[in-house]
């Protein structure tokens, strides 16, 4: 609070006290009794009044008993003569008036108070230090080198991004190393990547390593309800930066303020555009910003204004992708530093089983494993806890309270057996890790595959195998029951979309050729398609539909042939699922050889050894369209650079092809697990 504010409050308190005192002193004395005018006249007639002082209409007197009294008299010309006739001592005095200054204070105090309050708020709006009404001031939080506790040692799995930012830190500490050859430091560094990959963590690490003041603010902090506030805050932010130069400024989620101009839904005068224009000027305008480096983070680089991305403003764009297997292992090592691990825990095995996981996903996995170990009273976290955490994070908690009829269990078992057997028989498919008919989340059953490594590209043969694998559950129902259910709705939806992408985007149809049919508007790292534009004829559309149908029908016939030729293995796998509810890929190999399964291990119900892959493989972002690797896995639709699609993500966000839709039969569709089987009628999603 500044001096003016303190003085204003002090004078307001003093004025209020003066008014209170004035009112107190004007109160009648407590020893004077109030009499009505009638009572006063009666006392006068009885001779009980000794003396009276007349003050206008106010009469103050004393009775013969020595008691003081007061009353108010109307205009009565005969009052004085009546008092004299009764031998009452009469005294006249002028009427008391309030001091002129008190009258002035009472008259003007409300207006002065309003003016003072108005001045107070205006000063706050124009620059009060960080108060609630300081709209024009930047809300950036300054982090000093002493308060920053995160360093590059706490960041793993993004070596290239660390190297880029290390150069910025080195320039701040030793600028002559670069300027002696005519080089200049980048004015801005833009961190782009999917959510959860560590963009903000990298910025915090820079704050800990740089040794210079670090200002942190969110892009949404520039947007307020008053016009001009955003631009004012940008000016104030860079003014603070210049005062503390050399320094770093970090703007998180810059797409909130840096959207391309002219693309908004508002009117012609868009407050966001004013803020963006001011940001462009401050970054590279007429005035120099030497020593102020801007770091920003976003997962929507496609919507940023081109003027913001040009050299001279954001000279570098650093991609922060999802980590590979080595990066995932290092991230797990960072997050398990404070977690006591059992002897048999192998972080490299966990890393291999989590393709496409971001750093945030891995942190959540370690946390869930630690919570599970603590809940059962363990002193260390073992592989079983990581297995439990993986299943819970990826598939949801077991729903053993969901009661299924014997017929539903049998259908689910054969459906999952069809997926698993197809995955075993189709060449090039990812190994089956686990098959379960225990309801989890919205799924009644699931077939999981463990990829042998990170995939960055997918061949046509691999995709055709995945199409056949996707249809394995539906085909198994046809072969065994000579009937079909709604449980394969999501499998069919995903197979259709994969086949359409093969024809329209990936040029894998001989009839269509290497053409891209249809234009799509899509977020680069979020992966949701917003708009489709039709740039093809009706004849081409009919040809595309025919090709999609042909590809799916050929995959269906291929899968049916495989299952009919191995019907004994199908029955054996389904029987084992009905008996044990969960079996591993090794168990399936034993059953396919016609051998009996070994006795079930204690406490192994619902869990297969090792670490489970996600029901859908989550491909590393930025490496092209990736296929999910569940039984019937499908490449995640989207262009190069799309974010990994996961069952949990799809179920939570309802994004793109995984949008939950109720069909006419009452079953829901929308799980991103090709092996998941949805319950019909009960609202349980997803095979």
The C-alpha R_g of the chain, in whole angstroms, comes to 40
Whole-angstrom distance, CA of residue 309 vs CA of residue 294:
12
Across 140-149, 589-598, 610-619, least confident range = 610-619
Helices 489-504, 472-481: crossing angle, 10 deg rounding:
130
pLDDT tens digits, 74-97? 887 888 888 888 888 888 887 766
- State yes or no: pLDDT of 616 exceeds 70: no
Across 135-144, 245-254, 284-293, 621-630, least confident range = 621-630
Would you say 170 and 235 are in contact if contact means Cβ atoms under 8 Å apart? no
| CA distances (Å), origin 447, targets 63, 176, 427, 436, 562 | 108, 59, 17, 6, 18
Q: Which domains does the chain have, with CATH numbers?
A: 31-92 (3.30.720.210), 141-261+268-319 (3.40.50.300), 325-395 (1.10.8.60), 406-520+536-593 (1.20.58.760)
- State yes or no: pLDDT of 640 exceeds 60: no
Task: Kindly report the average pLDDT of the chain as a whole number.
Answer: 77
Q: Of the residues 387, 416, 581, 617, which is catalytic?
A: 416
Whole-angstrom distance, CA of residue 275 vs CA of residue 271:
6
| CA distances (Å), origin 459, targets 6, 348, 407 | 74, 27, 39
Nearest to 525 by CA among 614, 624, 644: 644
Here the tokens at position 189 are: 């560094």
Residue 407: active-site member: no
Q: Helix and strand tally (H, E) in the chain? A: 22, 18
Q: Looking at residue 608, what is its pLDDT?
A: 37
Q: Looking at residue 131, what is its pLDDT?
A: 45
Average pLDDT over residues 340-359: 88
pLDDT tens digits, 162-182? 888 888 888 887 888 888 888
Across 67-71, 319-323, 390-394, 657-661, least confident range = 657-661
pLDDT tens digits, 295-334? 999 988 888 889 998 888 888 889 998 898 899 999 999 9
| CA distances (Å), origin 222, targets 182, 387, 460 | 35, 44, 48
Phi, psi torsion values for 676, nearest 5 degrees: -75, 140
Question: Would the pTM count as exceeding 0.85?
Answer: no
**Band of pLDDT at residue 672, cut at 50, 70 and 90:** very low
Here the tokens at position 89 are: 């001592």
Nearest to 631 by CA among 453, 457, 471: 471
Nearest to 430 by CA among 678, 674, 687, 157: 674
- State yes or no: pLDDT of 687 exceeds 50: no
């Amino acid at each position: 609070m500044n001096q003016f504010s303190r003085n204003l409050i002090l004078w307001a308190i003093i004025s209020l006290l003066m008014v209170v005192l004035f009112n107190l002193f004007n109160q009648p004395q407590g020893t004077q009794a109030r009499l009505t005018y009638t009572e006063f006249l009666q006392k006068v007639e009885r001779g009980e009044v000794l003396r009276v002082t007349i003050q206008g209409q106010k009469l103050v007197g004393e009775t013969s008993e020595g008691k003081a009294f007061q009353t108010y008299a109307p205009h009565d010309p005969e009052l004085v003569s009546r008092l004299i006739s009764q031998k009452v001592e009469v005294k006249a005095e002028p009427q008391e008036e309030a001091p002129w200054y008190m009258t002035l204070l009472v008259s003007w105090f409300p207006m002065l108070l309003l003016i003072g309050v108005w001045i107070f708020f205006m000063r706050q709006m124009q620059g009060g230090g960080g108060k609630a009404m300081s709209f024009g001031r930047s809300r950036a939080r300054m982090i000093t080198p002493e308060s920053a506790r995160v360093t590059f040692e706490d960041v793993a799995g993004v070596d290239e991004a660390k190297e880029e930012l290390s150069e910025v830190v080195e320039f701040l500490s030793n600028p002559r190393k670069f300027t002696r050859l005519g080089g200049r430091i980048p004015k801005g560094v833009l961190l782009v990547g999917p959510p959860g990959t560590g963009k903000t963590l990298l910025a915090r690490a820079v704050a800990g390593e740089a040794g210079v003041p670090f200002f942190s603010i969110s892009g949404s902090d520039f947007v307020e309800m008053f016009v001009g506030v955003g631009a004012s805050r940008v000016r104030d932010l860079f003014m603070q930066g210049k005062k503390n130069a050399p320094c770093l400024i970090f703007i998180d989620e810059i797409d909130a303020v840096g959207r391309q101009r002219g693309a908004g839904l508002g009117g012609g005068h868009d407050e966001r555009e004013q803020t963006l224009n001011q940001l462009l000027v401050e970054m590279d305008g007429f005035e120099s910003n030497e020593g102020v480096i801007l770091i920003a983070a976003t997962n929507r680089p496609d919507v940023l204004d081109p003027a913001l991305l040009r050299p001279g403003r954001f000279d570098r764009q650093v991609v922060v992708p999802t980590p590979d297997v080595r990066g995932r292992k290092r991230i797990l090592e960072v997050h398990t530093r404070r977690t006591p691990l059992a002897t048999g825990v192998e972080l490299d095995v966990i890393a291999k089983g989590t393709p496409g996981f971001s750093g945030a996903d891995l942190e959540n996995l370690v946390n869930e494993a630690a919570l599970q170990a603590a809940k059962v009273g363990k002193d260390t976290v073992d592989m079983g806890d990581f297995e439990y955490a993986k299943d819970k994070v990826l598939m949801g908690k077991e729903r053993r309270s969901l009661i299924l009829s014997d017929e539903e269990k049998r259908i689910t078992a054969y459906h999952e057996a069809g997926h698993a057997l197809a995955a075993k028989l189709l060449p090039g498919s990812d190994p089956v890790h686990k098959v379960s008919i225990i309801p989890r989340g919205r799924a009644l059953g699931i077939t999981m595959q463990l990829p042998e490594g990170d995939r960055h590209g997918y061949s046509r043969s691999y995709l055709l195998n995945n199409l056949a694998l996707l249809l394995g559950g539906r085909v198994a129902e046809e072969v065994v029951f000579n009937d079909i259910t709604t449980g394969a709705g999501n499998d069919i939806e995903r197979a259709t979309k994969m086949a359409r992408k093969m024809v329209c985007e990936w040029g894998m149809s001989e009839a269509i050729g290497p053409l891209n049919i249809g234009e799509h508007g899509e977020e680069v790292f979020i992966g949701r398609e917003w708009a489709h534009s039709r740039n093809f004829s009706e004849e081409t559309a009919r040809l595309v539909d025919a090709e999609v149908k042909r590809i799916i029908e050929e995959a269906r016939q291929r899968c049916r042939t495989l299952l009919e030729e191995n019907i004994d293995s199908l029955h054996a796998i389904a029987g084992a699922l009905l008996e044990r509810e969960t079996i591993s890929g090794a168990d399936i190999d034993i059953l396919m050889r016609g051998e009996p399964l070994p006795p079930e291990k204690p406490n192994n119900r619902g869990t297969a050894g090792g670490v489970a892959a996600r029901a859908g493989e989550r491909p590393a972002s930025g490496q092209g369209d990736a296929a999910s690797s569940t039984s019937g896995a499908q490449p995640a639709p989207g262009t190069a650079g799309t974010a990994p699609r996961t069952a949990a993500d799809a179920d939570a966000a309802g994004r793109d092809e995984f949008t939950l839709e109720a069909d006419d039969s009452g079953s829901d569709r929308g799980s991103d697990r090709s092996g998941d089987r949805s319950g019909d009628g009960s609202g349980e999603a997803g095979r």
